[in-house]
Structures are given as C-alpha cells and as structure tokens.
Amino acid sequence: MKLKSVLLFALVLGFGTATYAQKSVELATDENFPRENVAVDSLGFDEYYAAEAAVEDVDEAEAEGDFNPGSTIIGHVTDAHSWHMFDYYSKDGSEHAVAIPLPIILVNDGHLDIFMSSKFHHGHADYKGYRLIGGGIEKEEIICVDEDGQPILDDEGNVKKPLDLSITKVPAAIMIAVVLLIVLIMVAKNGYKKRVNQAPKGVQSLVEMLVVFVRDSIVRPMIGEKHYEKYLPYLLTLFFFIFFCNCLGLIPFFPAGANVTGNLAVTATLAVITFLITNLSGNRHYWVDIFNTPGVPAWLKIFPLMPIVELVGVFTKPIVLMIRLFANMTAGHIVILGFVVIIFIISNTLSMGVGGGVAVISVIFSVFISVLECLVAYIQAFVFTMLSALYIGMAVSEPAHEH
C-alpha cells in the first residue's frame, strides 16, 4: 500500500509539473524586474546589493553578447527553483528560456504561500511580495519585497527571507530517481515470479548481478557472516541510489541531468544516516576501544591523546564520506562543461572558424570524460557503500584481541 502511494504521488507530481511547462517559456531579457527601485541601504544591505550588482553586470554582459562561462557551468551543477531545459532565439533576435516550473512553498510570518516558480518569470518579476534573486555563480534564493519593489529589512537590518520549503531541482530529481528505481526493482521482482527456478533474463540479470556483487564483495567481507544480513537492505539501497543518481546525472536532458550526488546536502544526509547506524549499532567493545585503545602506551592513556584522536575520528569518517562523493561527482560535471564552454569562448574571442576547429577537439575530450564518468559513477557508489559497510563492521564486530 505504501509503495502504491509513493508511486501515485510521484506520478501526480510529474504530470502536474508537465502541465505547467507551457507557462515556462518566458523572455530571458524581460525588463519587468524593477531594478531601478531597489533601495541601497547601509543597514546590513551590502550583501544583497553586491549580489544585485553582480546580476546586473551579468545582464549587461549578456545584453552585449558576451558569454559568461562561469555562470553557465555553476548554473548547471547547482540547485535551482526551476528545471531549465534550453534557450532559443525568436525571429526578432530576442532570447527565450524554456524551463519546467517547480512548486514554490514559502512560510513567511506564519503564512503559507504555494505557487509555481514560473510566476517569477525566471527572476525578472516579483510575485506576492517575493523576489527570486541569484542564479549561476550567485546562490539562488527568495527574498521579501514591498509593494514598491524594495527589499524588506528585518529588525537587524538584514534582507528578510521567508522559510523556503520549495521542491527545487535536486529534490524533484530525487523523487524521479526513486520512482524509476522502484520500477526497475519491481520489474526484476516480477521476473523472478514469472521465471521460477530459471536463469535470470534482461533487467533481472542486471539487478541480480549487482545485488550479488554488493552482498558477496562488500557487505559480507566487511561486516562478517554473523551480522551482515541485518545491514544488507540498507547498504543495497545506498549502493543502488547513489549509482542510479550518478548515471542519471550523466544524461543531459529531462528527466535526468540533475547533479543530485554533487549536492552537499544530499551527500551529507547519506553520511549522517551511515553515522547514526554505525554508532547506534556499536557494541561495548567498539566504545571501549575508542576510550581505551588496546596496544597504546599507558602514558598516552593517562594523557588522553589517543581517546581524543579516536573520538574525533568518529565524526571525521562521515565527513570524509560526504566530501568524497560530492567533490568527485561535481568535478566530473565541471570538467565536461568546461570542455563544452571552451567552444563558445574561442568563437567569441577569435572567430567562428577557429571555434569550429576547437569544437572537434572539445567534443572528443567531452566524450572521453563522459565515458570515464560512467566508470566514476560506479566507483563512487562502490566506495561509499564499502566504507559504510566497513564502519558498520568495525562497530559490530568483536575485536581481534578479545579472541
């Protein structure tokens, strides 16, 4: 029943966002954004003014035909309140952006506001007293504005921001990935029902191969025969989720293309779950070895150097998990996008002919890095799952000196 509810909710969300997609074709150079009304106040307004100045500089550069590679790359690897698809130019030369709007959920002074991100017209218009700022290099966020279009300041002189509970690009991509992953597993499950005592076939063989690999090559050796079955479901879920999100992130079009595992909040959540399971499952020997490490000289125990080091290690392990996955996946996306934007940089700087020649080399390198990223997508899922299993195994196993 729960599985059916999740699938129904995800399908409704997908159809709902698709219904509003036609409203997302807006003029990228829309002049409705009342920048001339923005007040420059010295009472804690410097941060907002700097962000607005940066946006204005980017707008002026784009208006003059300049290409901003930094904004393009960072905009593709960071989160956003809408799912940008592509830009196109009409016959009059004006630029239009096509994006799938996502639900905006804001809580401001106890009042709940829900609407679609298309109401902001890609950050060029205010709606219901809110304004979408940032994007690209600048962090995209929502602030409160008054009827005159001036940002509202709080009691401390800072720009007032509502509590943002919006379903942004990364959460939407997670929902899509979870639904697709559930469908994949259900197809494999039905294959076992239809082909009882027969060799696996198609998707079933792929899923079985990965499940057996995680069980026999990661979980069982790291945790041990006595405890591995208890933690196998979590570690299988961890591996499949990371691997599936990594693979979807390499596909450059909707519903894929979101940098889910390159989002620090996602990797931090996965690391915290591993941290909680590890330390809540830790037996007496696990904690004794932290505060009374065997084989350590007595003077180090009197002066608690090693216990401090071991206790710090308890918290640095999940941090390592978080940073490793985030950095590797984000770096891969940035490298691929870097090769792509070189084409436009050379074309704008030198000539279209030279840019066309560079395009051949850039495409070759981009394809090579993309193939390498397919391997990295698997390796990072393997490493995160292996280290999680290792930490859990260290917490639940009996130390060698006790046998």
User: CA–CA distance from 263 to each of 48, 83, 283, 400 (Å)?
Assistant: 24, 15, 33, 39
What's the token pair of residue 237?
A: 């879920």
CA–CA distance, 302 with 296 (Å, rounded to integer): 11
Neighbours of 58 (CB within 10 A): 18
Better-scored residue on pLDDT, 47 or 156: 156
CA–CA distance, 263 with 277 (Å, rounded to integer): 22
End-to-end CA distance of the chain: 47
Q: What is the pLDDT of residues 111-144, one digit of tens each?
A: 999 999 999 888 888 999 999 998 877 888 999 9
List phi, psi (to 5°) of 130: -125, 155
Task: Check whether 106 has a pLDDT greater than 90.
Answer: yes
CA–CA distance, 250 with 191 (Å, rounded to integer): 28
CA–CA distance, 272 with 45 (Å, rounded to integer): 35
Q: What is the pLDDT of residues 318-367, one digit of tens each?
A: 999 999 999 999 988 888 888 888 888 888 888 788 878 888 888 898 88
What's the token pair of residue 41?
A: 């106040």
What pLDDT score does 71 carry? 77
* CA neighbor of 56 nearest in space, from 38, 80, 44: 38
* Mean pLDDT of all residues in 373-400: 90
Given pLDDT bands bounded at 50, 70 and 90, which one contains residue 196?
Answer: confident
Task: Check whether 63 has a pLDDT greater than 50.
Answer: no
CA–CA distance, 353 with 347 (Å, rounded to integer): 7
Q: What's the sign of the alpha-carbon dihedral 28, 29, 34, 38?
A: positive
Helix, coil or strand: residue 230:
helix
Contact assessment for residue 98 and residue 24, using Cβ atoms and an 8 Å cutoff: yes
Percent of the chain whose pLDDT exceeds 90: 34
Contact assessment for residue 159 and residue 104, using Cβ atoms and an 8 Å cutoff: no
CA–CA distance, 146 with 168 (Å, rounded to integer): 25
Q: What is the pLDDT of residues 256-309, one digit of tens each?
A: 888 899 999 999 999 999 999 999 998 888 888 777 777 777 776 667 777 788
Task: Check whether 2 has a pLDDT greater than 80.
Answer: no
What pLDDT score does 116 carry? 93
CB neighbour list of residue 6: distance below 8 Å, 6 or more residues apart:
178, 179, 182
Helices 305-349, 352-396: axis angle to 10 degrees equals 160
CA–CA distance, 192 with 172 (Å, rounded to integer): 31
